[in-house]
């Protein structure tokens, strides 16, 4: 069976997170992704550990299912080879500083003239225009300026970012969504287009509850720890040996929580009649619940709540997540082969298709592993390839990844 994007050819000029994460999604969906890297070191993530057999463990996961071609885009011949590569591409994804590709003669307008059907996705910190466009922008800056750090952490605590690079990752997801949407539009118009996604706007796009409150009342939200913005109980609850989370916000689940924990007095208290009132009195409600849960283990509390149909879950660390029986039964984790690292355990795609499964191919490629093969596919002669390699405009790995 083919994958959803089989036959789509993608060129990536990316580093670190946003563009590589976007193209990882496209590669998982079956697209042929050709990662263009500088011959001198390649993507900076290659230098980030931990390392296995001398190779970056994060890189091998973030760049699975991709091919690598090493081209020097600061050389005339390297740029010419890149333009030839893009002539046969459907999508280009890049996350260089705005204007950097244009300075190389590889901006959207340049490549659109060469390939009018090309979908050109640019990911950046702040977007391709506006007063911030030329500033460097990393995930933590987008989380800060985008408001996420103002609502993350405990009240009166120090600023805290989300534990994963959420702005980077979601910018990558928007980039992938933008690419497939533009490909669909191309089916109707025959024309490619420029898709502009930013870490900042990705971060701000999460503010559904905060926007609802501010635009309705002018109220500005703040950090609430694990608690919900407007309903309760919906947060982490302390147990005798740790924590669990609970979401008893409907009449049925509120009754279920009270039944599971023997809190009939709370159920009969009119002050807690609805979720909004319970939120207002959260400073009293949560300690009352924890007086019971604090005498029971997390497993006991979760079992009692599950028996009553109350949404709940233990708080797992990643050792527990990566060995989770539910995820294992759903075959979420899988092993990708690497010529020197061996089997590289992978996180699965979050998308499951009944007829066109996502691809589970090799781990992230060696730098320049596919340089010669890709140049041949683009129509370069053996003499042209030899010259590119000899001049340093291109480079190849000594042990290509099949």
List the pLDDT tens digit at each of the 402 positions of the chain.
699 999 999 999 999 999 999 999 999 999 999 999 999 999 999 999 999 999 999 999 999 999 999 999 999 999 999 999 999 999 999 999 999 999 999 999 999 999 999 999 999 999 999 999 999 999 999 999 999 999 999 999 999 999 999 999 999 999 999 999 999 999 999 999 999 999 999 999 999 999 999 999 999 989 999 999 989 999 999 999 999 999 999 999 999 999 999 999 999 999 999 998 999 999 999 999 999 999 999 999 999 999 999 999 999 999 999 999 999 999 999 999 999 999 999 999 999 999 999 999 999 999 999 999 999 999 999 999 999 999 999 999 864 433
Residue 86 pLDDT: 98
Residue 133 pLDDT: 97
Alpha helices in 227-332 (DSSP H): 251-261, 264-267, 275-280, 282-293, 298-307, 318-321, 325-329
Q: How far apart are CA 95 and CA 77, in angstroms?
A: 22
CA–CA distances in Å: residue 142 to residues 48, 164, 169, 201, 396 = 22, 13, 12, 8, 36
Residue 396 pLDDT: 94
Q: How far apart are CA 400 and CA 397, in angstroms?
A: 6
Q: How far apart are CA 148 and CA 162, in angstroms?
A: 8
32-37 and 66-71 beta bridge pairing: parallel
Q: How far apart are CA 183 and CA 8, in angstroms?
A: 9
CA–CA distances in Å: residue 319 to residues 245, 268, 323 = 18, 41, 6
Closest CA to 33 of 179, 202, 190: 179
- The answer to whether residue 386 is catalytic is no
Catalytic residue among 43, 139, 168, 370: 168
Residue 176 pLDDT: 98
Cis ω before 50 (30° cut-off from 0): yes
């Amino acid at each position: 069976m083919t994958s959803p994007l089989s036959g789509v050819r993608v060129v990536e000029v990316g580093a670190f997170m946003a563009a590589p994460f976007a193209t990882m999604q496209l590669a998982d969906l079956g697209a042929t992704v050709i990662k263009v890297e500088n011959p001198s070191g390649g993507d900076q993530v290659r230098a980030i550990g931990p390392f296995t057999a001398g190779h970056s463990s994060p890189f091998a996961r973030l760049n699975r299912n991709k091919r690598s071609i090493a081209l020097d885009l600061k050389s005339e011949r390297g740029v010419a080879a890149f333009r030839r590569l893009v002539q046969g591409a459907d999508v280009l994804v890049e996350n260089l500083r705005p204007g950097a590709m244009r300075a190389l003669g590889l901006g959207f307008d340049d490549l659109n003239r060469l390939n009018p059907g090309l979908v050109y996705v640019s990911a950046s910190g702040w977007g391709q225009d506006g007063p911030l466009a030329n500033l460097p922008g990393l995930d933590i800056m987008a989380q800060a300026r985008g408001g996420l750090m103002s609502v993350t952490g405990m009240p009166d605590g120090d600023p805290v970012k989300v534990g994963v690079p959420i702005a980077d990752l979601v910018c990558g997801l928007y980039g992938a969504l933008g690419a497939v949407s533009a490909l669909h539009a191309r089916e109707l118009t025959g024309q490619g287009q420029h898709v502009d996604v930013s870490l900042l706007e990705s971060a701000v796009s999460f503010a559904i509850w905060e926007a609802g409150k501010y635009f309705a009342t002018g109220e500005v939200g703040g950090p609430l720890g694990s608690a919900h913005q407007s309903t309760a109980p919906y947060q982490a609850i302390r147990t005798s040996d740790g924590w669990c989370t609970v979401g008893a916000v409907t009449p049925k689940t509120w009754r279920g929580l009270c039944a599971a924990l023997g809190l009939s007095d709370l159920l009969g208290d009119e002050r807690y009649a609805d979720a909004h009132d319970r939120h207002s009195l959260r400073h009293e409600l949560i300690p009352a619940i924890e007086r019971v849960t604090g005498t029971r283990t997390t497993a006991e509390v979760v079992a009692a709540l599950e028996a009553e149909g109350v949404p709940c879950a233990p708080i797992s660390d990643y050792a527990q997540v990566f060995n989770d029986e539910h995820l294992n039964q759903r075959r979420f984790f899988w092993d990708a082969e690497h010529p020197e690292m061996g089997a590289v355990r992978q996180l699965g795609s979050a998308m499951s298709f009944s007829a066109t499964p996502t691809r589970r191919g090799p781990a992230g490629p060696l730098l320049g592993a596919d340089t010669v093969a890709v140049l041949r596919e683009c129509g370069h002669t053996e003499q042209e390839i030899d010259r590119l390699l000899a001049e340093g405009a291109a480079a190849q790995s000594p042990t290509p990844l099949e």
